[in-house]
Amino acid sequence: MVGMRYAEVAVDAAVAHSRTFSYSIPPRFSVEAGQLVWVPFGRRVLQGLVVELVGMPKVPETRAILQTVEPSPLIRPHHLQLGRWISGHYRCSLFTAIAPLLPPGFEAHVRSRITVVPDADSKTSNLRPESADALAKLGAKKAGLNEADFTKLLGNNGNRELTRLVDKGLVRRRLIMPRPTVTPKYEAFLMPSPQVSHDSSLSARQEGLLAAVREQNAPYPIALANKEFGNGVGQALFSKGLVAMEWVRADSARIARPSPEGGRQQHTLTSHQSDALSKITEALDDPKIKPRSFLLHGITGSGKTEVYLRAIDQVVRQGRQAIFLVPEISLTPQTLERVNAWFPGRVAVVHSRLTPRQQFDQWWDIREGKYDVVVGPRSLLFAPLAQLGLIVVDEEHEWTYKQIETHPLYHARASALQLGRITGSPVLLGSATPDVETYHAATRGWHTLLELPARVSAGPDRVSRLAEVQVCDMRRELREGNRSIFSRVLAQSLQDCVAAGHQAILFLNRRGASSIVQCRDCGHVVTCRRCSVSLTYHSTQSSLLCHTCNRRTRMPSTCPSCGGTHIRQLGAGTQRVVEEVKKLMPEATVDRLDADVTRSGQNTEETMARLTSGDTQVLVGTQMVAKGLDVPNVTLVGVVLADIGMYLPDFRAGERAFGLLCQVAGRAGRGEAIGQVVVQTYNPEHYAIQAAAAQDYSALYEYEIDSRREIGSPPFNELVHLVFQNRNDDQALRVATETGRTLTLRAVAQGLTEIEVIGPAPGIPSRIRGRYRWHLTLRGRRLLRFIEGMEFPPGCTVDVDPVHVL
């Protein structure tokens, strides 16, 4: 049809990546790209996002868009482009890729109600008895029934039967397209209308309100009018044309706390800092500078945050906005305070503790340009900033930047680089221990490498020394008769530290009172029956907990395998470490920080505050203590057992152990006193321990990059991880094996013999929440092209560029 317009729509259905569907646009409404609409899809009605307007549909027959969800577009073109990239790269439907870009609360499903057609009784002959029954029950309900409930009444093949009943004209289907659960909140105001003529028919209350509105120099809130003069009085004046009414979107409460001291600390930058900053400035000023991404590599305390803040400041001065991504918001209170102090009142802190209402209001405030800087976790990359100027990814090596549970399985760092490319914004990646892949990319010139090789201290030209790291061989301690969880060195250092009025942190990358439970007679380790991971002993409930499915069981008194009585917990958890510290120093104030404490509702920030204020003398914690803390009086860090996590069958295990140890070590000696770090281990020769002890990133990098080149791990190859889950173990294994075979044949048929199909292997854990897990790993180049068009079986999760391969 001439002049007809069509929309390409990303539909909220399980469809192939990047796929859109053509719909016609009814002449009665205007539709734009980025707008959310309701569309018919098969027999359903779904939400969809208009991706582009076209003159020609992709198919000869199109159906029409039913309704718009919001009158104007929600998503801007650069974000649509980002959504397309995420859909294509991470293999999810375009709608799934775009959903994180929508305001919170906008995803909704249509509800469908079934009612009886009144005069249809005569046609009910030759119906199935169940259908006749169901019709009778439906007839008794005036408001009808939800489609799902009615289908249940119809019994087997209820869906097909329902279609027949609709076709026969016996029942009617009515669709309810819900409004978003949260919508902008408006406040109404009354204003004097230019019409001055007096209406003598006004009631006393109407007279009173009219006078009040005319007297007030500012718009008069209708809420106040209702309170003072009664409900409906304002509305009556408005109907008579005596006042005008204005709707203003209600202002949300400011989330950013103004800084206590306020203002910026004016440091003189070190020469390394100013070199780094000037490189970034060049890119901010000149859109042609390439590359537009930077890796800021500097040990903790080298002044990276200072560089981020100055770069953001320049962006803000140019009238643009910055995104500042952090791995986890609750662990960075000090960083947040510094950002707030630099940009008072102009910082939006996005985190999951906000109510849906606050999240929603914040989304619109960001969109309306009320903030210059937005700080938050990975999903913040999708904040609707209009004039993006810079993206900072702090601690870029953190694997929390990858979404692993729900689609899209995107990596925020890779996606940030993509958004940077789309918008021309520089991307600043920062880390003390960069991801080996990121560093490799920098050595190839894909990012500009900026190094901050030394710590800054209070004075601009003084450089405080790194903590001294001592590796302590626990096998020797045992041989020499020390059965305590503390080596003699650590015990002595703890006592000295506290006696000197300093503070200490003890680190353990595992929570619970004590770790695995093992039989000393036969070596059996007690595992979760559902998840097959080892259980952890918790002394408070004297029970065993599965850290995968959260199931709790009683501590056995005899070994379930051999019946022996020498069954007990091995290794130590944070609670046990706290007890040992108290035994060693009964007077000391000991605090604990781990996921258990956080989950029990206690505030991480309060624990941090107690440490910062000096109340806590010894803090015992898991990886949560490894990050962000900057307390000058902490002079000792003890790593109770460094081995945990080093032996996972994941090619990144060594890199992660190194990163964690370095971060923990970085907690010591941030002030003038030199820090001391004691690392206890049963394997002092391990390369990750050696490199961490020397705080030598390049040693770690060289070792890693050589071994990865040899094995063919990333960055020398790409990975796609396929996880098959099923309640039936054999079934899961069978589907995984079949898929593996299909992929192998496909590689052979395409002559891509260098692509490897690894597995299937049981996952670690091999079972989660009653579902067995088997996995396959694809390794090679151009894997996306290789799997293009592949249909993966149900229950199979495709994870592109996985961060875990277990």
Distances (CA, A) of 667 to 643, 649, 655, 674, 675: 19, 28, 19, 11, 8
**Which of the residues 444 through 463 are near ligand ADP (CB under 6 A)?**
456, 460
Q: Which of 594, 652, 593 is nearest to 619 (CA)?
A: 593
Partner in contact with 574, chosen from Zn ion, ligand ADP, none, beta carbon below 5 to 8 Å by kind: none
Residue 765, preceding bond cis, omega within 30 degrees? yes
Stretch that binds ligand ADP, among 19-27, 125-133, 170-178, 260-268 (CB under 6 A): 260-268
Q: What DSSP character marks residue 400?
A: G
Q: How far is the CB of 358 from Zn ion (least distance, A)?
A: 35
Contact in structure between 41 and 13 (CB atoms under 8 Å): yes
Exactly one of 302, 548, 604, 623 binds ligand ADP (CB under 6 A); which one? Answer: 302
Residue 236 binding: pick among ligand ADP, Zn ion, none (C-beta 5-8 Å cut-off by kind): none
Q: Does 340 bind ligand ADP (CB under 6 A)?
A: no
What residues does 111 pair with on adjacent strands?
A: 176
Cβ proximity to Zn ion, 621 vs 763, nearer residue: 763
- Asked if residues 545 and 538 have their Cβ atoms less than 8 Å apart, the reply is yes
Closest contact distance (angstroms) between CB of 508 and Zn ion is 21
Nearest distance in Å: CB 531, Zn ion: 3
Q: How far apart are the first and last CA of the chain?
A: 55
Q: Which of 35, 68, 305, 534 binds ligand ADP (CB under 6 A)?
A: 305
Q: What does 528 interact with, of ligand ADP, Zn ion, none (CB < 5 to 8 A by kind)?
A: Zn ion
Partner whose footprint covers residue 530, from ligand ADP, Zn ion, none (CB < 5 to 8 Å by kind): Zn ion
Closer to ligand ADP by Cβ: residue 257 or 267: 267
267 forms part of the interface with ligand ADP (CB under 6 A): yes
Which of 107, 81, 104, 105 has the alpha carbon at shortest distance from 96?
107
Give the single-character DSSP code of 367: H
**Alpha carbon distances (Å) from 554 to 22, 474, 545, 558, 564:** 58, 31, 9, 12, 17
Interaction of residue 534 with ligand ADP, rule CB under 6 A: no
Instruction: Count the Cβ atoms, other than its own, within 10 Å of residue 393.
Output: 29
Which of 429, 426, 393 lies closest to 280 in space, CA to CA?
426
Q: Does 298 bind ligand ADP (CB under 6 A)?
A: yes
Among 47, 68, 273, 332, binds ligand ADP (CB under 6 A): 273
Q: How many positions of this chain bind ligand ADP (CB under 6 A)? A: 16
Nearer to Zn ion, 264 or 530 (CB): 530
Instruction: Single out the residue of 34, 104, 303, 765 in contact with ligand ADP (rule: CB under 6 A).
Output: 303
- Please report, as ranges, the residues that interact with Zn ion according to CB under 5 A: 528, 530-531, 546, 548-549, 551
User: Cα(391)–Cα(388) distance, rounded to whole angstroms?
Assistant: 8
In the bound state with Zn ion, the residue whose beta carbon lies nearer, of 531 and 705, is 531
Which residues make Cβ contacts (< 8 Å) with residue 215, sequence separation at least 6?
none
Backbone φ, ψ for residue 513 (5° rounding): -70, -35
Q: What share of the chain is helix, strand, coil (3-state, %, to 5)?
A: 35, 25, 45
Between the CA of residue 197 and those of 18, 243, 275, what are the distances in Å?
Answer: 61, 12, 70
User: Binding string to ligand ADP for residues 81 to 110, with x set by CB under 6 A, is what?
Assistant: ------------------------------
Phi-psi category of residue 481: left, alpha or beta, with phi > 0 → left and psi -120 to 50 → alpha: left
CA distance 214 to 313: 44
Residue 106 vs 342, nearer CB to ligand ADP:
342
Query: What is the rounded distance in angstroms from the CA atom of residue 43 to the CA atom of residue 169?
Result: 17
Query: Binding segment for ligand ADP among 300-308, 354-362, 488-496, 789-797 (CB under 6 A)?
Result: 300-308
Q: Which does 306 bind (CB under 5 to 8 A by kind): ligand ADP, Zn ion, none?
A: ligand ADP
| Among 175, 245, 269, 422, contact with ligand ADP (rule: CB under 6 A) | 269
Partner in contact with 304, chosen from ligand ADP, Zn ion, none, beta carbon below 5 to 8 Å by kind: ligand ADP
| Stretch in the footprint of ligand ADP (CB under 6 A) among 266-274, 601-609, 613-621, 689-697 | 266-274
Q: DSSP string covering 738-786, please?
A: HHHHHHHHHHHHTT-TT-EEEEEEEEEEEEETTEEEEEEEEEESSHHHH
Q: Which stretch binds ligand ADP (CB under 6 A): 7-15, 88-96, 237-245, 294-302?
A: 294-302
Q: Which stretch binds ligand ADP (CB under 6 A): 124-132, 265-273, 366-374, 768-776?
A: 265-273
Residue with tokens 């192998």: 744
Comparison of 272 and 652: residue with beta carbon closer to ligand ADP: 272
C-beta of 547 vs 775, nearer to Zn ion: 547
Find out whether the peptide bond into 377 is cis, omega within 30 degrees of 0: no
Out of 20, 300, 425, 532, which residue is the one contacting ligand ADP (CB under 6 A)?
300
Of the pair 551, 771, the CB lying nearest Zn ion is at 551
Binds 303: which of ligand ADP, Zn ion, none (CB < 5-8 Å by kind):
ligand ADP
Q: Which of 17, 79, 91, 304 binds ligand ADP (CB under 6 A)?
A: 304
Partner from ligand ADP, Zn ion, none binding residue 366, C-beta < 5-8 Å depending on class: none
Chain residues that interact with ligand ADP, rule: CB under 6 A: 265, 267-270, 273, 298, 300-306, 456, 460
